[in-house]
Amino acid sequence: MRELLTRNAMLERQVAELRGQIDTRGLTKLKTPRRPLDFTKYVELFFILRFTKRRVALKILYLGWDYCGLARQEITKCTIAEKLIEAFMNCRLIEESSDIRFAVCGRTDKGVSGFSQVVALTLRSNVHDGVGVIAPDDTSKLYPPKPEIDYVLIGNKNLPPDIRILSWSPVPLDFSPRRDCISRSYKYFFPAVDLDIECMRLAASKLIGHHDFRNFCSSQVANGVLNHERTIFKIEIFDSDADKTSLTLCLMCRRCQENRITKWRRVISIIALYNVYTLAEPLLFFEPEFENMNWQSSLDMFPDRRQEHYFAAISREAPSSKEFKRKSILERPTDDALEEKVRKVENRGKLRVARLTGHQVVCCSCVYSTMASAENIDQDIKIFYKKLFPCDLLCKWLSCGSKQPFETLSRREFSFSFAGDVYLRYQSFGDPASFRSELVRTCPNKIDIGAVYSAPPRLQRSLSSTTFVPEWKELVFDIDLTDYDDIRFCCGSANPNAKTAVCHRCWELAKCAVICLERALRCDFGFEHILWVYSGRRGVHCWVCDPVARHLDSAGRSAVAEYLTFVHSSDARKQKLKISSLPEPLLHPSVEAAADTLDSHFVKYCASQNLLNSHFPDRVKLMLQHLPPDLDSQRNVLFDQWANREEDNSDSTVKRWNTLKCFLQSEKRDNVIKDIILNTVYPRLDTNVTNGFGHLLKSPFCVHPKTGFICVPIDSHLIESFDPLTVPRLNELVSQLSQANTHNEVASQHLLAYKHTTLRPYVEFFERFVDRLSASMQLTSKSENDVDTTGIYGGIPSLEVV
């Protein structure tokens, strides 16, 4: 016991001696935790509390086109102010960024540069007294005073090359670079190409003085800004160089009694039309003017040479000639007057306006043949979003795979469409409750879903294009029956008297698309979680939700779309791929499997559209044109036989196809048969929707704005029995809720309200799909063989309304 006490006393003496050495030498010995070896380094102790602080103003120069503006922002650190604070923290001139009272002279937005911008902040100081010095009453614990820190030299060593500190000045504690600024000058550099300089100078002179600049600034009516009167003291246009190839516009604004600030957007609007041109880069916040400032520069820095380099970069030449087709500025449309903007703000919230045509109310949300009022239609949509729309289930689907609940939902883009082609893009919500609340409040006619971005889409306008980028999105496909109008004669453009956008005869094309793409996506690509959704009018949408599909880049999505494309849609659909000239072994197995799968559907579709009927010789000619050139004689013989018959019916179409098929088989031209089948009923994809991240797709369970049908999910295994004409409509669902007489129960349990309507089987099918997807996301660490890939989620049974 005595030995332990002796050993303890000896160790305590050693610790005391080491502490004394630390206090006298100012050095401490630290181990580097990341190195397993006994490697040490010495770090000098630094006590910032033993220094004074000082309020200083910095005159800085920066190029703004690579930054998101001057002021600090919560959603990005790519700002001038953030780089300044980061540099001063690295050189230990700042301890906490919240205590520096950072202020700027003139806020510049993204893309605007500053040549003499002034900022004020509180930094560490070496002196104990003077202008702007903040020192404690007891200075005995401070380090001895030294010559003041060279803020210019130290700051520039830690700043990026496109941000420079030119000089600094001590300022009083109550100094504000924004309020104490006497004047601000802006300069704009532009090429002198075919410009009437004298006319420009005459127009500029009319702006000098006190005027109302409401047409030269962004509208802030919603924020209560109605006064747009400002004073401009000086506008000059002069040559920027000796060759007189470029010009400079200099604009000076002085402080008025109300201390209003001239914004950079107003300066841009004076120079050009802000909504037409993007002219931020040549605009410079050139120089502010202050009184009683003692600017001090560093003798070790030579900013003049760097300024010449920056001036040369900013004054680079613009395009030397105008566009070929140019519209005069005076002939271009103008913005709304201030009174019109005020009226629009007052009427905001009344965007959904129905038009009364005769005795029929036509609304963008749906078309009713009954004599309903616009108020009733609005009420139906509000009831649907409040009690029937599966908002929680939809958000769960869009958030599958998130580490935190609804973590990716806040970065998912939504778009709301209203009457009169009014739409709001880049909407985002943090949870299902806020999503439903916004739906009930605004009652949009249509909901579209986009990609997941790196930041919430509602902040898109304040972010740069390099900061706000899409991260992932489901692999989507859009099948629109209008792309088949060259072979769709019942409801397409070939039949202007058609009363519906789709019928049972042309819906056969949508069935073929679902069957063919389902097989290819599962068998050829190995995707498991594929959701099919009826578009509500004349098409289907496909959402591939596998993690691999979600994170495909644009090149990968384009490759998948190209692999699945046989007949191009849109204007290029007539440029069909011909496989009739290929030898049998060269036909891709996927193409051959698609032709075999679609054979029976092709015969059924030919009969329904009378493609080989004698009463429609143009259709017969359309089908026979698929025969290769070496069979021209047989094509002419068949056309003469089939196009001149007086009596005909749908059965004759089937018989004629069998005759043509037997003839081609006898000639060993099976590829010609497959070519005819695939060019007729093979899925025609809109590849633009699939390739990029910017295209949005209609949300499941939203209301189609033209028909009132609900965009319900489809069980691909029951696609043969799916009838698009029996899909629930908006007015039918609201009526079913009323007949169920359960409004009191539904009002408190909106998640169960759909069970009282014909929407129930579709919601339950979607719920099973989401549960499977969520379970699969949680088992990503297991082998793919352990996950069931049959894709059987259960069918959609018939349901009687209770």
pLDDT of residue 73: 84
pLDDT in tens, 41-65: 433 445 677 889 999 999 999 988 8
| 33, 51, 128, 149, 656 from 146: Cα distances, Å | 36, 11, 9, 8, 104
Q: Where in the chain is the domain with CATH 3.30.70.580?
A: 48-314
| From 28-42, 96-110, 238-252, the region with the lowest mean pLDDT | 28-42
Q: Where in the chain is the domain with CATH 3.90.920.10?
A: 354-407+472-485+493-558+700-802
pLDDT of residue 218: 67
Q: What is the mean pLDDT of the chain?
A: 77
pLDDT of residue 196: 77
The residues facing 191 across adjacent strands are: 246
Q: Residue 633: how many CA atoms within 13 Å on its side-chain side?
A: 1
Share of the chain above pLDDT 90, in %: 25
pLDDT score of 776 more than 70: yes
Distance CA 105, CA 100 (A): 16
Helix (H) or strand (E) holding 596: helix 589-609
- E-strand ranges in 263-354 read 283-289
As a whole number, mean pLDDT of residues 290-315 equals 65
| Sheet containing 539-544, strands listed edge to edge, beginning at the edge strand earlier in sequence | 475-480, 539-544, 530-534, 713-714
pLDDT score of 99 more than 60: yes
As a whole number, mean pLDDT of residues 499-520 equals 89
Distance CA 529, CA 546 (A): 6
pLDDT in tens, 17-32: 776 665 544 444 444 4
- E-strand ranges in 581-699 read 697-698
pLDDT of residue 519: 93
Share of the chain above pLDDT 70, in %: 72
Which residues does 194 contact at the CB level (< 8 Å), separation at least 6?
322
Confirm if 297 and 166 have CB atoms less than 8 A apart: yes
Q: Please state which CATH number belongs to domain 48-314.
A: 3.30.70.580
As a whole number, mean pLDDT of residues 500-525 equals 91
pLDDT in tens, 561-595: 988 887 655 444 444 456 655 555 566 788 888 88
Distance CA 717, CA 791 (A): 9
Distance CA 576, CA 743 (A): 55
Confirm if 569 and 481 have CB atoms less than 8 A apart: no
| 198, 224, 308 from 250: Cα distances, Å | 15, 30, 19
Structure tokens at 696: 């949005």
For residue 802, give the 3-state DSSP assignment. coil
SS3 content of the chain, % helix, strand, coil (to 5): 40, 20, 45
- Least Cα distance to 482 among 502, 503, 508 occurs for 502
| From 94-103, 320-329, 411-420, the region with the lowest mean pLDDT | 320-329
Who wins on pLDDT, 251 or 751?
A: 251
Q: Which residues are marked as active site?
A: 413, 478, 480
Who wins on pLDDT, 297 or 471?
A: 471
pLDDT of residue 435: 94
As a whole number, mean pLDDT of residues 105-115 equals 83
pLDDT of residue 679: 87
How wide is the angle at C-alpha 36 spanned by C-alphas 33 and 37, nearest 5°? 110
As a whole number, mean pLDDT of residues 398-424 equals 85
| Parallel/antiparallel/unpaired status of strands 470-472 and 446-453 | antiparallel
Helix (H) or strand (E) holding 763: helix 760-778
CATH of 354-407+472-485+493-558+700-802, one of 1.25.40.10, 3.40.50.12280, 3.80.10.10, 3.90.920.10: 3.90.920.10
| From 352-366, 507-521, 586-600, the region with the lowest mean pLDDT | 352-366
pLDDT score of 496 more than 60: yes
- DSSP at 670: H
Q: How far is CA 55 from the centre of its chain?
A: 42
pLDDT in tens, 706-763: 888 999 999 999 999 999 999 999 999 988 888 875 555 544 445 578 888 999 999 9
As a whole number, mean pLDDT of residues 479-502 equals 78
Structure tokens at 487: 């072979």
Helix (H) or strand (E) holding 534: strand 530-534
Most confident stretch, 3-7, 223-227, 290-294 = 290-294
